[in-house]
Copies of this chain bind each other. A is one copy, B any other.
Amino acid sequence: MRIVITGGGGFLGQRLARRLAREGRIGDQPVTELTLFDIVAPPPPDAPFPVRSVAGDVADLPANAMPMGTDIVFHLAAVVSAAAEADYDLGRRVNLRGTDAVVDSCRRLTRPPRVVFTSSVASFSAAPDEVIGPATRQVPANSYGAQKAAAELILADATRRGFLDAVTLRLPTVSIRPGRPNKAASSFVSSILREPLGGEEAELPVADDFRLWITSPAHATDWLLHAATLDTAAMGPDRSVNPPGLTVSVGEMLAALEAAKPGAAALVRRVAAPEIQAIVATWPARFDPARALALGFAAHGPLEALVAEFLAETRGAA
A143 CA to B160 CA in the complex, in Å?
9
Please provide the chain A residues from 129 to 185 with a CB less than 8 Å away from any CB of chain B in the complex: 135-143, 146-147, 149-150, 153-154, 156-157, 160-161
Inter-subunit contact A161/B143 (CB<8 Å): yes
A149 CA to B139 CA in the complex, in Å?
12
**A258 proximal to B (CB < 8 A):** no
Q: Chain B contacts of A138 at CB under 8 A? A: 137, 153
Inter-subunit contact A237/B125 (CB<8 Å): yes
Please provide the chain A residues from 64 to 121 with a CB less than 8 Å away from any CB of chain B in the complex: 88, 92, 100
Inter-subunit contact B139/A137 (CB<8 Å): no
**A33 proximal to B (CB < 8 A):** no
A135 CA to B153 CA in the complex, in Å?
17
Q: Chain B contacts of A92 at CB under 8 A? A: 100
Inter-subunit contact A153/B146 (CB<8 Å): yes
A88 CA to B161 CA in the complex, in Å?
9
Q: Chain B contacts of A237 at CB under 8 A? A: 125, 139, 141
Inter-subunit contact A146/B154 (CB<8 Å): yes
Q: Chain B contacts of A125 at CB under 8 A? A: 237
Inter-subunit contact A157/B137 (CB<8 Å): no
A137 CA to B154 CA in the complex, in Å?
15
Q: Chain B contacts of A136 at CB under 8 A? A: 135, 137
**A201 proximal to B (CB < 8 A):** no
A149 CA to B150 CA in the complex, in Å?
8
User: Residues 224-245 of chain A: 1 if any B CB is under 8 Å from the residue's CB, otherwise 0?
Assistant: 0000000000000110000000
A: residues with CB less than 8 A from B are 88, 92, 100, 125, 135-143, 146-147, 149-150, 153-154, 156-157, 160-161, 237-238
Listed from nearest, the 4 A-B pairs whose CB atoms lie closest are: A146-B157, A150-B150, A137-B137, A150-B153
